[in-house]
């Protein structure tokens, strides 16, 4: 039996519980994943609902584990947060994504890059300094960086997060609320926080066709964004039918398998308009 630390308690490693041992291994290996170059980013297209133009991409982390193969970020990001590895990993994601977006911008395609910020990153007192350094080092124009935060991260410590967001906004970047509508939260924070864009959670998009009431909810979120002068993007768009409904209710942007899975940067480059030879 091996003991490993949880949050203020100890759990036993148990051979009959493969979940526990997998988590134990992942937590141990996560510390080395960066230097062993097992982490990489994929990018998913975000398109303009009207013109179908590529407006931006969301950076999504991938881990190629030597034993388990590809491990989902839904599994390892929470482990990274618990174990404290998220600081280093999050910093790397930011720097890698900004470097890539600068490359696209230099090639004549200034598309925005969305980077997910974990709650712990957002709560760091020096997060704005970190982001400023990355922007300076990569030379990416700040307006091409969009930071995605979740409602729960923002609302767990609202006064502190408000200050952090104001510092970040002063750098010239934009802020999106990820998975909007899944947090059972009050909407009043939207007015207080310097938010530029609402990302409608996949849970809503996927049910658009089922019932009239879901369509009404999404339509109201779109109206709310417009009233607050924010942009709005629907996540998880998988069918033409969903896209048609979203266009009809004037959702500004869309993201989902219908328009493209998360892919390596080279594949995004191939979707960009060819630049005329100078």
In the bound state with ligand C2E, the residue whose beta carbon lies nearer, of 109 and 206, is 206
Is 148 a binder of Ca ion (CB under 5 A)? yes
In the bound state with ligand C2E, the residue whose beta carbon lies nearer, of 105 and 176, is 176
Is 179 a binder of Ca ion (CB under 5 A)? yes
Binding part of the chain for Ca ion, among 83-91, 94-102, 171-179, 270-278 by CB under 5 A, reads 171-179
Burial of 72 (0-12, 13-18, 19+ CB in 10 A): exposed
84-to-25, 60, 70, 99 alpha-carbon distances in Å: 15, 19, 21, 24
Binding part of the chain for Ca ion, among 141-149, 167-175, 211-219, 242-250 by CB under 5 A, reads 141-149
Determine how many CB atoms are found less than 10 A away from the CB of residue 217. 16
Choose the contact partner of 45 out of Ca ion, ligand C2E, none; CB within 5 to 8 A by kind. none
73 Cβ contact list (under 8 Å, min separation 6): 60, 61, 62, 63
Continuous segment of H or E residues that includes residue 73: helix 73-83
Residue 246 CB, shortest distance to ligand C2E, in Å, is 12
Is 137 a binder of ligand C2E (CB under 6 A)? no
Burial of 206 (0-12, 13-18, 19+ CB in 10 A): middle
Is 61 a binder of ligand C2E (CB under 6 A)? yes
**DSSP designation for 210:** T
Is 255 a binder of Ca ion (CB under 5 A)? no
Binding ligand C2E (rule: CB under 6 A), the pick from 45, 56, 181, 262 is 262
Binding part of the chain for ligand C2E, among 30-38, 59-67, 99-107, 124-132 by CB under 6 A, reads 59-67
- φ/ψ (deg, to 5) at 45: -60, 145
In the bound state with Ca ion, the residue whose beta carbon lies nearer, of 29 and 115, is 115
Is 56 a binder of ligand C2E (CB under 6 A)? no
Site string for ligand C2E, 178-197 (x = CB under 6 A): xx------------------
152 Cβ contact list (under 8 Å, min separation 6): 119, 183, 185
Choose the contact partner of 238 out of Ca ion, ligand C2E, none; CB within 5 to 8 A by kind. ligand C2E
Is 49 a binder of ligand C2E (CB under 6 A)? no
Binding ligand C2E (rule: CB under 6 A), the pick from 56, 181, 256, 265 is 256
Determine how many CB atoms are found less than 10 A away from the CB of residue 265. 20
Residue 209 CA from chain centroid, whole number: 25
Residue 73 CB, shortest distance to ligand C2E, in Å, is 3
Binding Ca ion (rule: CB under 5 A), the pick from 178, 233, 252, 255 is 178
Query: Cα torsion for 134, 140, 142, 144, to the nearest 10°?
Result: -120
Instruction: By CB under 5 A, name the binding residues for Ca ion.
Output: 116, 148, 178-179, 235
């Amino acid at each position: 039996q091996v003991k490993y630390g949880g949050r203020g308690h100890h759990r036993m490693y148990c051979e009959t519980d493969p979940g526990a041992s997998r988590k134990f291994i992942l937590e141990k290996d996560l510390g080395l994943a960066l230097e062993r170059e097992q982490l990489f980013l994929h990018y998913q297209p975000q398109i303009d609902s009207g013109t179908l133009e590529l407006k931006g991409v969301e950076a999504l982390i991938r881990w190629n584990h030597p034993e388990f193969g590809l491990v989902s970020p839904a599994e390892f990001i929470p482990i990274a947060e618990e174990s404290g590895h998220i600081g280093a990993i999050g910093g790397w994601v930011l720097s890698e994504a900004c470097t890539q977006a600068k490359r696209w911008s230099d090639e004549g395609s200034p598309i925005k890059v969305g980077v997910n910020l974990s709650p712990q990153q957002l709560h760091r007192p020096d997060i704005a300094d970190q982001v400023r350094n990355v922007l300076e080092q990569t030379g990416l124009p700040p307006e091409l960086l969009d930071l995605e935060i979740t409602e729960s991260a923002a609302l767990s410590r609202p006064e502190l997060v408000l200050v952090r967001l104001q510092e970040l906004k002063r750098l010239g970047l934009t802020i999106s609320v990820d998975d909007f509508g899944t947090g059972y939260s009050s909407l009043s924070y939207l007015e207080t926080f310097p938010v530029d864009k609402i990302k409608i959670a996949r849970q809503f998009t996927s049910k658009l066709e089922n019932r009239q009431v879901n369509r009404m909810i999404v339509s109201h979120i779109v109206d709310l964004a417009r009233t607050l002068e924010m942009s709005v993007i629907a996540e998880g768009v998988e069918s033409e039918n969903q896209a048609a409904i979203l266009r009809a209710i004037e959702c500004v942007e869309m993201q989902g398998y219908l328009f493209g899975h998360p892919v390596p940067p080279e594949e995004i480059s191939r979707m960009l308009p060819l630049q005329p030879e100078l």
